[in-house]
């Protein structure tokens, strides 16, 4: 199974925000899109960073006046990404090892092609397990 398979099921739309936008706008966009993280991009096509609800919570703890600060003050710049043709097992390992819940999908030329969350991975894995269960039940029923 590949990342492309997840993107085919969920779509390739990615909510982004500019690095100079205020954290207040970030919160509005997170709520509007019902997501836990946004890709930070100046042009909507290249990944500059990523920012999550956790980044906001930690930032507010350190700086109660954070809401008017630019997103760039709390974003993660060392973004872990994956390729569309990468295996889901590799993505699960990356998410676990690096403690990340959202991974932007980028093409070879660095263009943003989608985003995969831990929820997308879990949903996909549950679907695989249900399919395998049905196959095994069918095999057992046909041999019994």
Joined together, the tokens standing for residue 57 give 């919570």
Q: Is 106 helix (H, G, I), strand (E, B) or coil?
A: strand
What's the structural domain count of the chain? 1
Whether the Cβ atoms of residue 23 and residue 47 lie closer than 8 Å to each other: no
What is the domain extent for residue 52? 3-143
pLDDT value of residue 68? 95
**CA distances for 133 relative to 94, 120, 128, 136, angstroms:** 27, 20, 9, 5
* Domain containing residue 20: CATH number: 3.10.580.10
Output the pLDDT for position 117.
95
Helix ranges restricted to H, 11-144: 23-33, 53-62, 88-98, 118-143
Q: What is the pLDDT of residue 25?
A: 98
The answer to whether 46 touches 112, Cβ cutoff 8 Å, is yes
pLDDT at 125: 87
> What is the widest separation between alpha-carbon atoms in the chain?
68
Please report the pLDDT score of residue 144 as a whole number. Answer: 66
Q: Please answer whether residues 123 and 7 qualify as being in contact, where contact means their C-beta atoms are separated by less than 8 angstroms.
A: no
**DSSP state, residue 36:** S
* pLDDT, mean of each 10-residue run, the chain (144 residues): 93 96 97 96 92 95 93 97 95 96 95 95 88 86 80
């Amino acid at each position: 199974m590949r990342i492309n398979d997840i993107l085919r099921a969920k779509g390739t739309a990615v909510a982004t925000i500019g690095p100079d936008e205020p954290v207040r706008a970030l919160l509005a966009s997170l709520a509007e899109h019902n997501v836990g993280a946004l890709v930070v991009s100046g042009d909507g096509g290249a990944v500059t960073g990523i920012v999550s609800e956790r980044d906001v919570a930690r930032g507010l703890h350190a700086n109660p006046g954070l809401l008017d600060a630019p997103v760039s003050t709390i974003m993660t710049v060392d973004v872990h990404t994956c390729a569309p043709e990468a295996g889901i097992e590799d993505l699960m390992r990356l998410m676990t090892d690096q403690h990340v819940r959202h991974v932007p999908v980028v093409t070879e030329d660095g263009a943003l092609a989608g985003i995969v969350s831990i929820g997308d991975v879990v949903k996909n894995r549950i679907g695989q397990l249900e399919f395998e269960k049905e196959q095994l039940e069918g095999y057992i029923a046909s041999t019994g």
